[in-house]
Amino acid sequence: MRRSLAVGGRRASKGRDVSSQFVATVRGGVRAGLGTREARGHVIRVTVHRSCYPATMTLVRRKSELSPLVTLKAKGVFRFDTDKRPTTWIRFAARYAKTHPDARFLLVGGGRLFEDCVQLARDLGIIERILFVGHSTDVGYWMKKMDVSVLMSSFEGLPNVLIEAQYLGVPVVSTPAGGAAECFIEGVTGHILSCAEKTDLDEACAKVQALLGRAQDASVFEAATRDFLDPNFSISKMLENFLRITCQPIQHA
């Protein structure tokens, strides 16, 4: 059996990462009085369009497979930029590979740190263990091949990649960046790590190991989809929340 990991991110704008810009904008709003009791905000979660996945999954039969001798496939799907911490991901893979020589890793995405990460993998002696896919329009195909999806971000909003992985039957491990902990059922479809800034790689390895064998487990993911994913992240739920919030009568002070 094989297992894989995936990571992803967004390109920085004018030298500052997207998450930092978002935080600065929110802080500016708070200073302007938007964070007071008189001004309340509502959160409408992002959604995932489930109908995209069945068509994507038909690609699996037409693409080459990783070696059947691989015992773990860990994936990362992200932008190779500072807020996604791709070098931490590479170091995690190196740490895991020390005690699991049959493990293989898969990274999907591109960005300004891509070549640095390839070189780091070479320096750590695991370049032959990692498949660097680069930019891909078939992310669902790669995700479906994984045993675990790992996210090492220091900043996030609500990471769609964690939701998408679960819809495809792949458990997740993530730092507690942003709303990551809201995206899965702790101990069932994933594990949250203790710290986003100073990630304990040994903890990450242990959490990944604990989830092996859970990928594509219908008894886990059919229930998770019905009871957690659809009620929280479906398009119909987003529209319901949007209409409920926007159609409320304006209350004047």
The pLDDT, as a whole number, for residue 29 is 53
Q: How far apart are the first and last CA of the chain?
A: 62
Dihedral angle over CA of 171, 5, 142, 160, nearest 10: 60
Using left for φ > 0, alpha for ψ between -120 and 50, and beta otherwise, residue 198 falls in: beta
| The pair of three-digit structure tokens given for residue 150, joined into one six-digit string | 């790992």
Q: To which H or E segment does residue 90 belong?
A: helix 86-99
- Ramachandran area for residue 81 (φ above 0: left; ψ -120 to 50: alpha; else beta): beta
What pLDDT shows up at residue 144?
A: 86
* Nearest Cα to Cα of residue 49 among 239, 240, 236, 235: 235
- 3 state DSSP class of 124: coil
Q: Given CA atoms 195, 201, 206, 211 in this order, what sign does their dihedral have? A: positive
Q: What is the pLDDT along the chain (253 residues), one digit of tens a residue?
A: 444 444 333 333 344 454 455 555 555 554 555 444 444 555 555 555 555 444 333 333 333 344 434 446 888 999 999 999 999 999 999 999 999 999 999 999 999 999 999 999 999 999 999 999 999 988 888 888 889 999 999 999 999 999 999 999 999 999 999 999 999 999 999 999 999 999 999 999 999 999 998 998 999 999 999 999 999 988 887 788 778 877 877 666 5
| Domains observed in the chain | 4-10+45-246 (3.40.50.2000)
